[in-house]
């Protein structure tokens, strides 16, 4: 059917052919709202507070008076944090340890679980549910559960090991040398289930014909995994990496519930809370800590975004 392209396009919604750029008023309003409202929300709730935190980190303010009571002190907050604030360097280390641990241990364990459960063994659905159950529990409840498990005299672990007497007591949560690892076990307990589900979905996309071909050729299971399955999981790996980094940098609830993030369980997020929301109310100081956490978080974000855009082009 020949159409006169020089003629003005009809405005009926049913005609599939439309010139790009000729939108009706109603369409324009719709587009503006659909882009504008989320944009406004992101600007108001993410960009504005971030920029405000960066600006406030150069001030000394107790948050109670008006904006005119803010005292600008330059980089004093940062100097103090780095030199005389005892919990800072332990918190920094713990955040990095948390990130490394989550990336190495529960992620690979989740992958192993997914690989095993993908084999359609009997009761695989039941196992999946069991391993996924901790994921649906909030981190604060996870912290609470493990606090009971690790309690010195009344807890499960010490009673099973028989170490409940004053002489041989293992102080899982009170000993700063081991409590971070005890808490990481609790975090890994939850994280492994999460990763397992992601990888289970990814493994479904591996071509079974390839696997059969490898089996016929006599390849060992490990060889088949390394050369066929793992490369096919590349898109899932990116998702898993992002999720792991997010969970690691977001770590707060477990530690706060157990002992308010003191004595070996310091984390930057808890330090921010202590200084801003706690009784202390040192807004400038807490903002400086938040900016430091922001800088740490930006590194994986930049790496990820650079990677994603590189692939697209």
Partner 1 sequence: MYDVRMMTRRSVLQTGLAGLAAAYGLSGCGSDDEPAGNGSDGAAAKPSGTVSFGSNYSDELPKKALQAALDGYAKSSGVEVDLNTVDHNTFQEQINNYLQGSPDDVFAWFAGYRMQFFAERGLATEISDVWEEIGGQYSEAFKTASTGLDGKQYFVPFYYYPWAVFYRKSVFEKNGYEPAANFDEFKALAQQMESDGLTPLAFADKDGWPAFGTFDYLNMRTNGYDFHVSLMRGDESWESAQVKTVFENWRELLPYHQQGALGRIWQDAAQGLVDKEAGMMVMGLFVGNQFSDKDREDLDFFPFPEINPEHGQDAVEAPIDGFMLSQDPENEDAAKDLLTYLGGAEAQSVYLNVDPNNIAASTEADTSSYTPIQQKANELITGAAQISQFLDRDTRPDFASTVMIPAIQKFLREPDDVDGLVKSIEQQKKAIFA
What residues line the site for partner 1 (CB under 8 A)? 13, 26-27, 30, 33-34, 62-65, 80, 83-87, 152-153, 166, 169, 171-176, 179, 259-260, 262-263, 274-275, 277-282
Query: Which of the 8 DSSP states describes residue 69?
Result: G
CB of 307 to partner 1, least distance (A): 33
Q: Which is nearer to partner 1, 4 or 68 (CB)?
A: 68
Q: Which is nearer to partner 1, 29 or 130 (CB)?
A: 29
CB of 190 to partner 1, least distance (A): 22
DSSP per-residue letters across the chain: ----TTSPPP--TT-S---TT---HHHHHHHHHHHHHHHHHHIIIIIHHHHHHHHHTTEE--SSS-GGG-EE-TTHHHHHHHHH-TTHHHHHHHHHHHHHHHHHHHHHHHHHHHHHHTT--TTHHHHHHHHHHHHHS-HHHHHHHHHHHT-TTT-HHHHHHT--STTT---TTT-TTTHHHHHHHHHHHHHHHHHHHHHHHHHTTS-HHHHHHHHHTT--HHHHIIIIIHHHTHHHHHHHHHHHHHHHHT--HHHHHHHSS-TT---HHHHHHHHHTSTT--HHHHHHHHHHHHHHHHHHHHHHHHHHHHHH-
CB of 138 to partner 1, least distance (A): 17
Q: Which is nearer to partner 1, 63 or 300 (CB)?
A: 63
Q: How far is CA 37 from CA 21, 33, 34, in A?
A: 22, 6, 6
In the chain, at which residue ranges do the beta strands (DSSP E only) sit? 59-60, 71-72
CB of 16 to partner 1, least distance (A): 13
Q: Which is nearer to partner 1, 134 or 261 (CB)?
A: 261
Q: Which is nearer to partner 1, 163 or 237 (CB)?
A: 163
Q: Which is nearer to partner 1, 41 or 130 (CB)?
A: 41
CB of 248 to partner 1, least distance (A): 23
CB of 288 to partner 1, least distance (A): 12
CB of 144 to partner 1, least distance (A): 13
Q: Which is nearer to partner 1, 215 or 277 (CB)?
A: 277
Q: What is the 3-state secondary structure (H, E, C) of 202-250?
A: HHCCCCHHHHHHHHHCCCCHHHHHHHHHHHHCHHHHHHHHHHHHHHHHC
Q: Which is nearer to partner 1, 93 or 260 (CB)?
A: 260
CB of 182 to partner 1, least distance (A): 10
């Amino acid at each position: 059917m020949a159409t006169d392209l020089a003629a003005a396009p009809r405005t009926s919604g049913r005609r599939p052919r439309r010139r790009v750029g000729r939108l009706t008023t109603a369409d324009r309003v719709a587009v503006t709202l659909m882009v504008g409202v989320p944009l406004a929300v992101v600007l108001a709730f993410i960009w504005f507070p971030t920029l405000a935190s960066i600006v406030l980190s150069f001030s000394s303010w107790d948050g109670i008076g008006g904006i005119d009571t803010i005292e600008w002190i330059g980089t004093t907050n940062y100097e103090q944090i780095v030199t005389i604030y005892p919990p800072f360097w332990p918190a920094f280390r713990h955040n990095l340890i948390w990130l490394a641990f989550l990336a190495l241990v529960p992620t690979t364990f989740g992958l192993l679980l997914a690989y095993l459960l993908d084999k359609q063994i009997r009761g695989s659905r039941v196992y999946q549910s069991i391993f996924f159950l901790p994921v649906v529990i909030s981190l604060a409840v996870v912290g609470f559960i493990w606090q009971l498990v690790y309690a010195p005299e009344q807890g499960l672990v010490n009673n099973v090991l028989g170490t409940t007497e004053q002489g041989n007591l293992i102080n899982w949560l009170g000993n700063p040398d081991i409590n971070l690892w005890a808490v990481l076990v609790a975090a890994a307990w939850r994280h492994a289930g999460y990763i397992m589900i992601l990888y289970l979905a990814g493994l479904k996309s591996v071509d079974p014909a390839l696997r059969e071909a490898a089996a016929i050729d006599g390849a060992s299971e490990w060889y088949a995994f390394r050369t066929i399955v793992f490369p096919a999981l590349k898109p899932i790996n990116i998702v898993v990496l992002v999720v792991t980094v997010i969970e690691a940098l977001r770590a707060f609830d477990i530690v706060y519930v157990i002992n308010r993030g003191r004595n070996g369980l310091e984390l930057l997020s808890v330090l921010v809370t202590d200084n801003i929301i706690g009784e202390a109310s040192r807004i400038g100081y807490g903002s400086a800590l938040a900016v430091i956490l922001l800088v740490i978080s930006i590194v994986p974000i930049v790496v990820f975004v650079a990677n994603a855009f590189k692939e697209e082009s």
